Amino acid sequence: MSKKKQDYILLDHTADLGIKVRGKTLENLFENAAKAMIELTVRGKSEGKIHSRKIVLSGQDLADLMVQWLGEILYLFEGEKLVATSAKIDKLSPSMLEASVEAVPFDPEFHVIINEIKAVTYHQSKVLKKGDHYESTIIFDL
């Protein structure tokens, strides 16, 4: 384990990259996870046109929803070249998630790519309540 960065820490995984995220509420946990993944992918700000997206997912449990949720944010970047600037959870239960995401087009003049994350894996994915907060472990394939 290493460097503390706001609401998440990086985990050492031999081939890939993992994070352990915390949040006061479940909604907060999911939002922090998205923020952490964006930080690990790209840095910098641009003033480009804001694109708004509604994300609706159904899942088997919270860990499944977490993997799918981060997968959606990753697809925005990889598939549509949009960098998420805000990710807000509107509704969350163990079987569904609704969220609102705002994103700006990737602009190489302002954005610097940090890691190419190929995918959000299910490997060791967890969402747990730890005392007064929630915690999640996610491993990315680089």
Partner 1 sequence: MDIKLEKVDDYCWRIPKTGSMRVPGIIFSDESLNKDLQRDESLVQVANVATLPGIVKYSLAMPDIHWGYGFPIGGVAAFDMEEGIVSPGGVGYDINCGCRLMTTSLEADQIKPMMKEIISALFKNIPTGVGSRGAVSLSKADEAAVATEGAAWVVKKGFGRKEDLERIEDHGTMEGADPGVLSERAIQRGLDQLGTLGSGNHFLEVQVVDQIYDEHLAREFNLSQGRVTILIHSGSRGFGHQICDDFLKLMAREVSAQGFDLPDRQLACAYLKSELGRRYLAAMACAANYAWANRQILMHLAETTLLSTLSLSPSELGMQLLYDVCHNIAKKEHHEIDGRQVMLCVHRKGATRSLPPGHPKVPEVYRHAGQPVLIPGDMGTHSYVLAGTEGALQKSFGSSCHGAGRVLSRHQAVKKAKGRAINRELEDKGIFVQSRGKRTLKEEIPEAYKDVSRVVEVVHKAGLARKVARLSPLGVIKG
Rule CB under 8 A: which residues touch partner 1? Answer: 2, 10, 12-17, 60, 63-64, 68, 71, 75, 78-81, 106, 108, 113-116, 118-119, 121-125, 139, 141-142
Let me know: does 54 contact 98? Beta carbons within 8 Å: yes
Nearest approach, Cβ of residue 108 and partner 1 (Å): 8
Nearest approach, Cβ of residue 19 and partner 1 (Å): 11
Name every residue whose Cβ is closer than 8 Å to that of residue 117 and which is 6 or more positions away in sequence: 17, 37, 40, 41, 74, 140, 141, 142
Distance CA 9, CA 1 (A): 7
Nearest approach, Cβ of residue 73 and partner 1 (Å): 13
Closest CA to 39 of 119, 118, 114: 114
Is the Cα dihedral 91, 93, 98, 104 positive or negative? positive
Radius of gyration of the chain (CA): 14
Nearest approach, Cβ of residue 71 and partner 1 (Å): 6
